[in-house]
Amino acid sequence: MSTPDTGALDRLLQERQADRLPSVAAAVVHKGAQVWANAVGGADYDKGRDATPDTQYRIGSVTKTFTATAIMQLRDSGQLDLDDRLEQHVDGVANGTPTIRRMLCHLSGLQREAGEMFVTGESPTDDELVASMSDVEFVLGPAQAHHYSNLAFALLGQVVARKSGLPYMRYVDERIIRPLGLTRTTWTPRSPQAQGYLVDEYARTVWKEPETDLAGASAAGQLWSTVEDLGRWATFLATGADGVLDATTNEEMWFPQQMRYPDAWDEGWGLGLMLYNQGGVIYGGHGGAMAGHLAGVFIDRKTQTGAAALTNSGTRGDMELFAISLAAKGRELWPEPVETWRPEEEPPAEVRAILGRWWSEGNEFVFWWEGGALKAKVVGTAPGRGETTFARDGGVWRAAAGRERGERLRIDGGQLIWSGYAFTRAQEPFKA
């Protein structure tokens, strides 16, 4: 296979930086491999240092995906349940009624910030964070609507620490960052790093921004990283990794818990993941913002094509949508292969007997054998809609993916019984 011309990606990067951003670094990954990376602009004007793909930037709220991964690890080990209340795992916390699930997907109703730390410049200690819950506001009722809360994720960091017996940062280092080989992902900056700037909108000059230590709120946004590390992180978000997070748990994190704007289903939330619907393709990941830095990392889980984008500007650079635009271009440059069709192995006799067309509730279905699996779909539905893949579960067939997932399929004489409905070879009305 010939190597794609990545000039279009270089051009997108150059155009993004030219729109008054000190520097932009970006990378694209496909099927677990970095297929492109580049950087344009100044990482530090005082030191005369240009940005490279190995330049560290602050990734802000992308940290939340690490926190969410830690929570899911603890759930998988039986130390908590997602529908537990916060107060069940943080002793003595006031107003601890939000569930862990609602905190992960911003449905807790908790106020946005941990007090006024971004007004005073003073970050809370762990103890101060928990104590501040005595004065917390619930700005919305539980599950009433989306409301982004850094406070919720700061508190989830306390859950990680108290359930694991390790400080939050140490836990994430030992259980997530090191096992995945993210050597340039750290809690404090490591050279070469980008100086954060604020670009003056009219004078076209820049101010230096401070490097804020979030202290007790670190689980909401403390990390620094590079686009190369974040490319590896994007692949992890799409697939999971042995010894870190099981693939089935990873899939659970992608399941939508809410739609941010119910009248426009273009942005939703899974368990700690932002989900963007762009032209029918779902990109999962997260954005990040801290003083002088903006970040975005997103991936299409189906094709495992994703991108990371970082800038050392605190304004003007929407790195979330820029990362998605790079991932979309990556899908064009590295399309899914067209597989050569070959005849299937003969299916089991019981499967052979049920292949073909069936009817249920007045709708026509077709059952077929493909790739060693029994499949079905509602006739006339668009690709990816109304389809089911079945798997053997002991002595029965069960829907393993798609429509009516988890429901049993059984053969009863000349009928199929699936999820409590009869399927017949000819169209029939319901029985009286």
24-72 pLDDT per residue, tens: 999 999 999 999 999 999 999 999 999 999 999 999 999 999 999 999 9
- Residues 7-333, CATH architecture: 3-Layer(aba) Sandwich (3.40)
Name residue 269's amino acid: W
Measured CA to CA, the distance from residue 25 to residue 13 in angstroms comes to 8
What number of other Cβ atoms are within 10 A of residue 400's Cβ?
15
Measured CA to CA, the distance from residue 234 to residue 299 in angstroms comes to 6
pLDDT at 225: 98
Q: Report yes or no: 171 and 207 within 8 Å, Cβ to Cβ.
A: no
What number of other Cβ atoms are within 10 A of residue 338's Cβ?
6
Is the bond preceding 262 in cis, omega lying within 30 degrees of 0? no
- The DSSP secondary structure of 91-105, one letter per residue, reads TT-TT--SBHHHHHT
And the tokens for 196? 């954060």
pLDDT at 414: 67
Domain span(s) for CATH 3.40.710.10 in the chain: 7-333
Q: Which is it for the CA torsion 220, 222, 228, 232, positive or negative?
A: negative
What number of other Cβ atoms are within 10 A of residue 51's Cβ?
25
Measured CA to CA, the distance from residue 370 to residue 53 in angstroms comes to 43
pLDDT at 45: 98
pTM: 0.95
Distances 423 to 65, 351, 366, 387, 389 between C-alpha atoms, Å: 43, 15, 11, 16, 17
Measured CA to CA, the distance from residue 255 to residue 162 in angstroms comes to 27
Burial class (CB in 10 A: 0-12, 13-18, 19+), 328: middle
| Helical segments of 165-204, H only | 168-172
* Residue ranges in the chain whose pLDDT is less than 70: 1-2, 414, 432
> Position of tokens 């304004």?
315
Measured CA to CA, the distance from residue 224 to residue 187 in angstroms comes to 6
Measured CA to CA, the distance from residue 233 to residue 279 in angstroms comes to 24
181 Rama sector, left if φ>0, alpha if ψ -120 to 50, beta otherwise: left
Measured CA to CA, the distance from residue 106 to residue 295 in angstroms comes to 20
Q: Whole-angstrom distance between the N-terminal and C-terminal Cα of the chain? A: 61
Give residues with Cβ within 8 angstroms of 251, minimum separation 6. Answer: none
